[in-house]
Structure 1
Amino acid sequence: MMSFLPSGALERKDTIRALRLYGTRVFIVGNPMVYTAGFFIFLAGMTAHDLHTALLTQGLGKALKHANVFNAAIAATFIQNCLQTHSGNQIGASQAPAIPGLLHAEARAAALTSIVAIIALAGLLAWSGLPLHDTLFYTLLNTVPAVVQWYAPPQQTSRRVKGIMTVIGVTLLLGLVLLTFATDFPLWALTRPAVLTIPADLAMMSLLTAAIMTLPNRLHSPAMLAPTDGVTASAPEFAMPDSAPRVAPQDLSFYQLRQMLLSPASPTSQRNDLLISLIMPASIILFMGSLPLGHGSFGTRIAHLTPGMTILIALQDGWISNRKHWPLLLTTGRFGSRLSFVRAVFAAKASRIFMTAPLRTLSLMLPVTLFKPLTPTHALLDGAELLVAMLGVTFCCPLPFLVMKQPPQGIIVAASIAPAFLLQICNPFILGTRIFGPIALALAALGALCFFVVPSRMARSDWPYETE
């Protein structure tokens, strides 16, 4: 692995030049997570303000019930995503290995920026009155998924080792999600003694830095990273294409073919989609409620977990943000004009969401109805309002096209992610049916407006290609 600190004047200049790109147009354009990260940084600031006010009159345990520190966790994740996107664009360019010092400088700049961003976010939380070593500990814990995303074994590593690393990464991610939604995890993480958190902070910061510094190994083969004469990089050797006959894939069903409009990858079958929608939310809630985390009875933990679990049923695929496959499908001529094609995409999304949304909502409502004193009438109202809101926010994702002719990719991604977090912090479990009812109807009306108006606007806009 390359050295973290530059060893000479030339390397220092290269690193400074790479650092100057952060915050400029080069960093912002083509970085779809910038706006989302900025939004959650703003929410983290609001959380720090709420904590600062609450801690003046009450203890941390009660203060955390009125301030959603999960915003800071999400901000930490999206900050790393922004850095990964920019670094991947700079280091992953095919000509990057041929430019002396570029790979080292960009990796160092990304590592330095990551450290500064983490410390700044931890300092923002510490402004509330919490110890800096605890807020840094909490922030770093939420960068564990980023470590997995930054690191990848070198390309010559065996498939077995790569598979092990993938399993480890998924396990760490799921473990963090479970801890994040556990009742007392924020309180536990923010009240650790300094003798524990300071060494842990240094260890996690070193691990994250080491992961970032391995980025060139992931994006380029060893032949391209080999030392050269300082002018050009040696051309990598490419394997000859495999001439062996390939087995044709199994015929896709009509449902799968229609869903391919939403994603270029082969979609799940209708049966699997139905089963996942019906089983997944309830299974996760029941599993997490059975863990010995938090206080109170099993039903109390279920009631505490359910409001935050609305994100499970509100998360959407990238049906609007991922449109690189649109031009190719349009040229097949199977969908008619551009307007007919866009309407076909919206119809495919509507057919899927109207089938899966009721099952997701039912799966979410069953545990909280069975294990909490909730009357059937109240449960029916909560479920109905949540379902209406889900259907509405699904078609609010293309809202930027309603107000902009060619919205930036970052705004489109932010609009695709925002509905899930909106329903997580604003749902009938938290606001009550009387307050959330009008909100759900407003979201449904806005979604209907987008469904009927946006296709004609998207048909007239430029469609993205590989440059997006």
Structure 2
Amino acid sequence: MTRAWTCYRAALRNYASRAFVVGNPTLYSALLFLAITPSWVAKVGPGLRHGTTAAMDHAGANPLSMTAFMGMTSISTYYWRQVGESLATTIPGFLAAELRAGLTVVALLFVALTIPLLWCGLPVAGAAAFVAFSFTFAAGGRPVRGEKRSLKWLRVGIMTGGALFSFIPQWQIWLLFLPWPLAAGIVAVCGTLVVLGMTYHAGRTQAEQEQAENRADSRRTSVMQPGVVGRTLGHLMLWQPPMLRQAPLPPTLARPLGPAGILLMALASVTGMLAISAMTASIMVLMHEGAFAPIFRDTARGGLVTLPGVTLMVLSNWLLNRKDWPFFFMAGRYGSRVAFARTMFRAYRLNVLLWGVGVIVPVMLVLVLLGSVPGAAAGWLGVLLVLMFTGACYGSSVPLIWRELGGKGVTIAAGMAAYMAMILANPVVLYRAHHADLAIAASLAIFVAGMAVSQVAPRQLTRMDWPFDGE
């Protein structure tokens, strides 16, 4: 008993040490969202204490939801890094101590994040359900080693239900004001998902690896040849005109898809968003919350304007993995390190322009068809959105200006800040709110700032160490 308690205290102590921070960039994102929580509380708190939720309709999304998501992700990242080591299973009591310590930190985070909601005057049951629901995607999204198939499908089912629920308008208000029996049920389900998502079945994992190796050795590998349509579609998606073909680049900058492939991927994303919006509208109609057409139109518009931001988040990760840069630098005819860094930034700029135009064009066309944007304004709004997207994509490069701030965590936090800036200053949203002049000013300001960073950052990047292994 004494040994188990000692192991537990040692594992718990690591969460308050540098070991938890190193290589855990989502922790910085959680702190960023936590920092903007007081402003949200100041907006909605007075109204909620007087029994009205009108302020929540204009205060935007609750940042505590993303704080809980990022915080749970950072805990999960550290936990699986600890138990995933090859020596973890050989140390008596190590896995159990890490599990208990991880669940303890999750419980402390859960209590800490409910306090601001209670401060606003929200009911205890609703606040607990909201925070627990925000843990869902971080706890259930990571593959669990050695998990039974039935438990895996249970996690997938819970996550799918949560994803569909989050697309319903005013889902946050529903959660925060749930009757206590339903809120208790949500807390229990989400708590179960957290425990399942942090349970490592060491023995079953080893058995699965051995079975997979045996199956691979015993069967012949068959390669399916695509048909004519598949080959044609594949060539179309990969084709690039001569002016866009590039020399070998690091994987984070390589562009496997051509312009047609990027456009098809964007169309698939738009189609998926429309399908989810239709499903959400159908659920709302069944719940007698209104007619299908206006709900579908509002939900689709809200989802479509976020697609450029999601693309920005994906592209902004190019600076996080530089471990193969020395090989490309030595193998290529780049000359100096400055020339190599500028080549990387030029390749990134080209990727940004291709993805920006490829995503924003279908988004604007669908917004015009939905009647959310007049056709006469769609052209210049689309240009503003491309300019803002191009400038915001350099947000993750801002920490390079200060060499001591070039770490992974700060890079991700800067990219998240750029994402938030693009969501809040989206020219389409500002135009619909009758702030066309502000839309123009914000788009041009972000574009100019991004271009300035793209000129300064390459030289600063050459002064940093490669490879980039973390902080």
- Taking structure 1 as the reference length, what is the TM-score of the superposition? 0.82
Residue 122 (1) aligns with residue 114 (2)? yes
Is contact 2:146-2:203 (8 Å) kept? yes
Is contact 1:405-1:461 (8 Å) kept? no
Question: CA offset at residue 79 of structure 1?
Answer: 0.6
Residues matched between the structures, number: 441
Alignment equivalent of 1:106, drawn from 98, 110, 135: 98
| Aligned residue identity for 2:81 | N
Cα distance per residue 1:258-289 (max 9 Å; x no partner): 68535288844543222112442365146415
Cα distance per residue 1:220-242 (max 9 Å; x no partner): 73699xxxxxxxxxxx9997998
Question: CA offset at residue 466 of structure 1?
Answer: 5.0
SS of the residue aligned with 2:326?
Answer: helix
Question: CA offset at residue 393 of structure 1?
Answer: 0.5
Question: CA offset at residue 465 of structure 1?
Answer: 4.8
Q: Name 1:12's counterpart in structure 2.
A: 5
Q: Name 1:44's counterpart in structure 2.
A: 37
Alignment equivalent of 1:263, drawn from 252, 262, 267: 252
Is contact 1:258-1:348 (8 Å) kept? no
Residue 455 (1) aligns with residue 455 (2)? no
Higher mean C-alpha displacement, 13-22 vs 375-384: 375-384
Alignment equivalent of 2:183, drawn from 197, 206, 213: 197
| Aligned residue identity for 1:181 | F
Residue 388 (1) aligns with residue 387 (2)? yes
Alignment equivalent of 1:184, drawn from 159, 170, 176: 170
Q: Name 1:425's counterpart in structure 2.
A: 424
Alignment equivalent of 1:144, drawn from 120, 132, 136: 136
Q: Name 1:33's counterpart in structure 2.
A: 26
Higher mean C-alpha displacement, 254-263 vs 94-103: 254-263
Higher mean C-alpha displacement, 264-273 vs 451-460: 264-273
Question: Whole-Å Cα distance in 2 between the matches of residues 430 and 217 of structure 1?
Answer: 53
Pair 70,281 (structure 1): closer, same or farther in 2 beyond 3 Å: farther
Question: CA offset at residue 453 of structure 1?
Answer: 1.6
Is contact 1:37-1:79 (8 Å) kept? yes
Question: CA offset at residue 151 of structure 1?
Answer: 5.0
Residue 330 (1) aligns with residue 329 (2)? yes
Question: Whole-Å Cα distance in 1 between the matches of residues 375 and 7 of structure 2?
Answer: 65
Question: CA offset at residue 204 of structure 1?
Answer: 2.1
Alignment equivalent of 2:441, drawn from 438, 443, 446: 438
Is contact 1:391-1:447 (8 Å) kept? yes
Question: Whole-Å Cα distance in 2 between the matches of residues 405 and 200 of structure 1?
Answer: 43
Is contact 2:395-2:417 (8 Å) kept? no
Q: Name 1:212's counterpart in structure 2.
A: 198
Q: Name 2:229's counterpart in structure 1.
A: none
Cα distance per residue 1:198-253 (max 9 Å; x no partner): 133123213312321327679x73699xxxxxxxxxxx9997998x9999x99986
Residue 284 (1) aligns with residue 281 (2)? no
Question: Whole-Å Cα distance in 2 between the matches of residues 461 and 139 of structure 1?
Answer: 39
Is contact 2:114-2:131 (8 Å) kept? yes
Alignment equivalent of 1:21, drawn from 14, 34, 37: 14
Question: CA offset at residue 49 of structure 1?
Answer: 3.1
Is contact 2:144-2:198 (8 Å) kept? no
Question: Whole-Å Cα distance in 2 between the matches of residues 79 and 463 of structure 1?
Answer: 29
Pair 191,319 (structure 1): closer, same or farther in 2 beyond 3 Å: same
| Aligned residue identity for 1:87 | Y
Pair 223,141 (structure 1): closer, same or farther in 2 beyond 3 Å: closer
List aligned pairs for 1:357-368, cutoff 5 A. 357-368=356-367
| Aligned residue identity for 1:365 | M
Is contact 2:44-2:55 (8 Å) kept? yes
Is contact 2:239-2:260 (8 Å) kept? no
Higher mean C-alpha displacement, 261-270 vs 71-80: 261-270
Q: Give the CA RMSD over aligned residues.
A: 3.6
Q: Name 2:206's counterpart in structure 1.
A: 221
List aligned pairs for 1:88-99, cutoff 5 A. 88-99=80-91
Question: Whole-Å Cα distance in 2 between the matches of residues 238 and 276 of structure 1?
Answer: 33
Listed as ranges, the gaps of 5+ residues in structure 2 are: 226-233
Higher mean C-alpha displacement, 363-372 vs 131-140: 363-372
Is contact 1:136-1:201 (8 Å) kept? yes
- Taking structure 2 as the reference length, what is the TM-score of the superposition? 0.81
Is contact 1:130-1:190 (8 Å) kept? yes
Question: Whole-Å Cα distance in 2 between the matches of residues 405 and 337 of structure 1?
Answer: 23
Is contact 1:285-1:367 (8 Å) kept? no
Listed as ranges, the gaps of 5+ residues in structure 1 are: 1-7, 225-235
Q: Name 1:4's counterpart in structure 2.
A: none
Is contact 2:146-2:208 (8 Å) kept? no
Question: Whole-Å Cα distance in 1 between the matches of residues 415 and 16 of structure 2?
Answer: 23
Pair 114,51 (structure 1): closer, same or farther in 2 beyond 3 Å: same
| Aligned residue identity for 2:196 | A
Q: Name 2:228's counterpart in structure 1.
A: none
Q: Equivalent pairs: percent with the same residue? A: 22
Residue 59 (1) aligns with residue 52 (2)? yes
Pair 112,309 (structure 1): closer, same or farther in 2 beyond 3 Å: farther
Is contact 2:25-2:409 (8 Å) kept? yes
SS of the residue aligned with 1:277?
Answer: helix
